């Protein structure tokens, strides 16, 4: 049963790598596995059996999320944006009390920690603006000859995979390869996916080490930045509200998502 639950978590984490405005890291935070995931990846060979058993279902789910379920979620986001987004907002906001409790478990709350939260929050808000304006300003024609550029794109994209609340789609838009990336996933174009995958793995390991260092030496400050990014991601998702039938269903799904996260 635990394997199945972790597999389902992995599906959502994987889908976060392709959905606009969604971060895989946010899903890791929502499910309460962010720190453990960082440690398991970086210390894989220290206790290989234990870490491998933990990572296997999440990794398999992640692949499924990218290749299959991401398309379904993309359909839901496109066809039923308000209910789908409100459900995710409920899940995200439901994780905030848990994150605050975790952040304060060491030294307790200090007022200046809010500076880190606000800084991360405003970066998240900035990413909203970038996601809206970048496609109209950047249009790079990426062909199969751009191998190293695609490696670079995957490397930078890993920031969005690792850091909660930083959207990978914004990063890929900034590099002009977002549509190329989506088409490559849809057609399983390995000439695009392989170099991006190489950069992604290298970047993920590097940035995970940075996150591990920050959590080790600046645990509370780092967690408040994570909370700021997570709150900022809510603004990315918020579609507005209307008190129609769809709006009422959206509110119910928000409450359901919030309740589910509190109870997980």
pLDDT at 198 over 90: yes
Read off the pLDDT of residues 238-248 as tens digits, 9 standing for 90 and up: 888 888 999 99
Task: Quote the mean pLDDT of the chain.
Answer: 79
As a whole number of angstroms, the distance between CA 202 and CA 72 comes to: 29
Q: pLDDT band for 105, please (50, 70, 90 cuts).
A: confident
What's the pLDDT at 252? 94
Count of residues making up the chain:
264
pLDDT value at residue 202:
92
Is residue 197 predicted with pLDDT exceeding 60?
Answer: yes
Determine the Cα–Cα distance for residues 26 and 227; give it in Å rounded to an integer. Answer: 10
Expressed as residue numbers, the domain containing 258 is: 2-263
For residue 124 the two structure tokens come to 């998240």
Segment of 123-137, 156-170, 199-213 carrying the highest mean pLDDT: 199-213
Cα separation, 8 vs 62, in Å, equals 9
- What is the DSSP secondary-structure string of 86-134? HHHHHHHHHHHHHHHHHHTSSS---TTHHHHHHHHHHHHHHHHHHHHHH
More confident: 120 or 74: 120
Which stretch of 65-79, 128-142, 201-215 has the lowest confidence by average pLDDT? 128-142
Cα gap 60→49, rounded to integer Å: 16
Q: How far apart are CA 229 and CA 24, in angstroms?
A: 12
Residue 2 and residue 56 in contact, taking contact as beta carbons nearer than 8 Å: no
pLDDT band at 193 (very low <50, low <70, confident <90, very high): confident
Residue 141: the pLDDT is: 53
The pLDDT of residue 35 is 79
pLDDT in tens, 119-150: 888 876 776 666 555 555 555 555 555 788 88
Structure letter (DSSP) for residue 110: -
How many domains in the chain? 1
């Amino acid at each position: 049963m635990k394997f199945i639950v972790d597999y389902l978590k992995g599906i959502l984490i994987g889908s976060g790598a392709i959905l606009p405005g969604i971060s895989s890291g946010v899903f890791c935070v929502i499910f309460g596995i962010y720190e453990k995931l960082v440690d398991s990846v970086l210390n894989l060979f220290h206790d290989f059996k234990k870490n491998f058993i933990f990572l296997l279902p999440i990794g398999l789910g992640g692949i499924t999320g990218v290749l299959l379920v991401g398309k379904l979620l993309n359909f839901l986001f496109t066809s039923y944006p308000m209910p789908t987004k409100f459900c995710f907002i409920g899940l995200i906001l439901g994780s905030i009390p848990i994150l605050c409790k975790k952040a304060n478990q060491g030294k307790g709350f200090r007022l200046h920690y809010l500076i880190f939260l606000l800084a991360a929050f405003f970066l998240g808000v900035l990413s909203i603006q970038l996601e809206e304006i970048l496609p109209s300003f950047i249009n790079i024609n990426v062909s199969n000859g751009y191998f190293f550029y695609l490696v670079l794109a995957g490397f930078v994209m890993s920031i969005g995979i690792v850091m909660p609340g930083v959207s990978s789609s914004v990063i890929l838009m900034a590099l002009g390869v977002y549509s190329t990336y989506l088409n490559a996933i849809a057609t399983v174009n390995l000439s695009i996916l392989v170099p991006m995958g190489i950069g992604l793995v290298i970047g993920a390991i590097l940035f995970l080490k940075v996150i591990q260092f920050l959590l080790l030496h600046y645990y509370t400050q780092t967690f408040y930045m994570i909370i700021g990014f997570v709150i900022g991601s809510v603004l990315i998702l918020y579609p507005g509200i209307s008190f129609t039938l769809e709006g009422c269903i959206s509110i119910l799904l928000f409450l359901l998502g919030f309740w589910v996260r509190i109870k997980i």
